[in-house]
Amino acid sequence: MSEASRLREDICRIAKSMFDRGLTCGASGNISARLSDGTLLMTPTGSSMGFLDPARISHLDADLRLLSGDPPTKEIPLHSAFYDTRAQTGAVVHLHSTHSVALSMLPDTDADNMLPALTPYAIMRLGKVKLLPFFLPGDAGMGQAVRGLAGKRSAVVLANHGPVVAGKDLWAASHSIEELEETAKLALMTRGMGAVGLSDPQIAAVVRTFDIDW
């Protein structure tokens, strides 16, 4: 199986798993992955992540022109911003996951690091998660906001919209965005209950041990 065929199958399999588990619903969410030749595979616009066809995945050249497949998601500027500013990016996943969106709407959520340090795994997989302001869906301003971070964050949450995570490959990005959603869920479940998160020394130990950009 060719690299492109394998990635097409992986995108569809991962997207369906996320859809089936309620991590994104309807025709929301999108995924992209970079091939070794610099071209991109991307989920088509208006498609449901639960019912993707590998043959209809959008294939874009390095200049984001459509080579084959259906027209791509309108969130191209959001995806391309991560590829352009983080050389190590091999895939980008964007969801409309409920708990992440809910946390983004609470007035006391820290915009510079919206996830409380509840477990070591969120720190290890995500580093600090930046909360970005609200943009209309498809607004190129989302990509500009990501570019403004100068490659320093692998994960952001768009207020009232959803999380976006870049990873070294499709599986890494998928695992990380799921960690983000589960941590947001934990934060909401334990809110106001006096939950004990990681202390500053514990956070520092995780960052030091696993060489996290913090």
Of residues 3, 9, 83, 121, which has the active-site annotation?
A: 121
Any idea what the Cα angle at residue 5 is, between residues 40 and 15, rounded to 5°?
Answer: 70
Question: Is the model's pLDDT at 83 over the cut of 90?
Answer: yes
SS3 category, 91: strand
Residue 183 domain-assigned (yes or no): yes
Chain mean pLDDT for the chain: 97
Residue 77 domain-assigned (yes or no): yes
Lowest mean per-residue pLDDT among 115-119, 145-149, 191-195:
191-195
Average pLDDT on 159-188 reads 98
Question: Residue 55: which pLDDT band, with cuts at 50, 70 and 90?
Answer: very high
Express as a percent the part of the chain with pLDDT over 70.
100
CA dihedral 190, 196, 202, 206 (to 10 degrees): -20
Of residues 75, 178, 179, 182, which has the active-site annotation?
A: 75
Residue 13 domain-assigned (yes or no): yes
**Residue 108, domain extent:** 3-209
Query: How many structural domains compose the chain?
Result: 1
Other Cβ atoms closer than 10 A to 20: 10
Burial of 188 (0-12, 13-18, 19+ CB in 10 A): middle
Residue 37 domain-assigned (yes or no): yes
Check if 121 is active-site: yes
Phi-psi region of 211 (alpha: psi -120 to 50; beta: other; left: phi over 0): left
Per residue in 2-49, pLDDT tens? 999 999 999 999 999 999 999 999 999 999 999 999 999 999 999 999
Say if strands 91-94 and 66-68 run parallel, antiparallel, or are unpaired.
unpaired
Question: Is the model's pLDDT at 1 over the cut of 90?
Answer: no
Predicted pLDDT at 38: 96
Residue 89 domain-assigned (yes or no): yes
Check if 182 is active-site: no
Question: Residue 138: which pLDDT band, with cuts at 50, 70 and 90?
Answer: confident
Residue 87 domain-assigned (yes or no): yes
pTM of the model: 0.96
Question: Is the model's pLDDT at 208 over the cut of 90?
Answer: yes
Residue 94 domain-assigned (yes or no): yes
Facing residues of 130 across strands? 156
Per residue in 105-129, pLDDT tens? 999 999 999 999 999 999 999 999 9
Q: Are 32 and 91 in contact (CB under 8 A)?
A: yes
What CATH number is associated with residue 192?
3.40.225.10
Predicted pLDDT at 22: 96
Say if strands 91-94 and 162-167 run parallel, antiparallel, or are unpaired.
antiparallel
Average pLDDT on 157-179 reads 98
Any idea what the Cα angle at residue 109 is, between residues 101 and 93, rounded to 5°?
Answer: 35
Residue 214 domain-assigned (yes or no): no
